[in-house]
Amino acid sequence: MFATNGAWHNDRAMRIVRSVAGMQRQALGWRRSGVRIGFVPTMGFLHPGHLSLVERARKAVGPRGKVVLSIYVNPTQFGPAEDFTRYPRDLKRDLQLCRKAGVDVVFTPGDASMYPGKERGSYSTYVVEEGLSGSMEGASRPTHFRGVTTIVAKLFNVVLPEIAVFGAKDWQQAAIIRRMTADLNFPVRIIVAPTLRESDGLAMSSRNKYLEGDLRRQALVLTCAIKHVSGRVAGSRGGLPAAGLRREAAAIIRREPQARLDYVEFFDPDTLKPLRRVGKGGHMALAVFIGATRLIDNSRL
């Protein structure tokens, strides 16, 4: 049944909330009643990796808690030449998956709700993290993390979660959100859940939909590079020079005709500081274009 303002409707046990005010009212009501809220922010086109985050949020808040999943393709985290307009969307399918997964509320706001006045030039407030966002994704996509931290901060203020769950596939993003949450005193516990992979090892991603024909096979080159470096590090004593491992990974990427390396980096998993020498416990992240599709992956070594 739709409310008169179209903000939300009931669909069995799951609510679809479309307005910021409607979501805040619901969240405030829960908080006043002592109900714990777990939150999974997404851009939709859900896959089993997203649903594993829902399961983790449900476990964290318990059977009496509520799980909110947001679906919003955030324009401010896309650069001008990136895939915002063609980013895969299928809200009907997403809602079916959420219902089966036991999500309590799906929050699906529009741009006018999340960035009021932006089209008229009267929206001017952004959240910027300055310590962890300059390398890797931040270097390749200079405005990306400003958009991510801004939208996550806004969603935290709307959904009012006690717990928020993010995926480890976006390792740098998770680290930045943890830092933002601590620095800005958000009363939210951040959980980073493991990356889910396809049976052949490819990290699950909404952008995998773009991989047609032989591009899907070529995308496995990211996994191959990670496995190669992991094996080299595991067999070393005292670690190996990062520069040499970077050249080896790049050579593996070049084996595929449609693969183009953006970056390979080695860093401390907690501080994101680059490593000159890579040993066990170090972290590897890479970004690779497969045709026109940019994929990322990472792994502890």
Tokens 């401390």, residue? 268
Tokens 């599709």, residue? 293
The three-class DSSP label of residue 263 is: strand
In angstroms, the Cα distances linking 39 to 25, 66, 71, 254 are 16, 9, 11, 39
Which of the following is catalytic: 47, 50, 144, 283? 50
50 catalytic per annotation: yes
The three-class DSSP label of residue 113 is: helix
What distance in Å separates the CA atoms of residue 12 and residue 30, rounded to the nearest whole number? 19
Let me know: does 272 contact 171? Beta carbons within 8 Å.
no
The three-class DSSP label of residue 244 is: helix
CB burial of residue 118 (10 Å; 0-12, 13-18, 19+): middle
Catalytic residues: 50
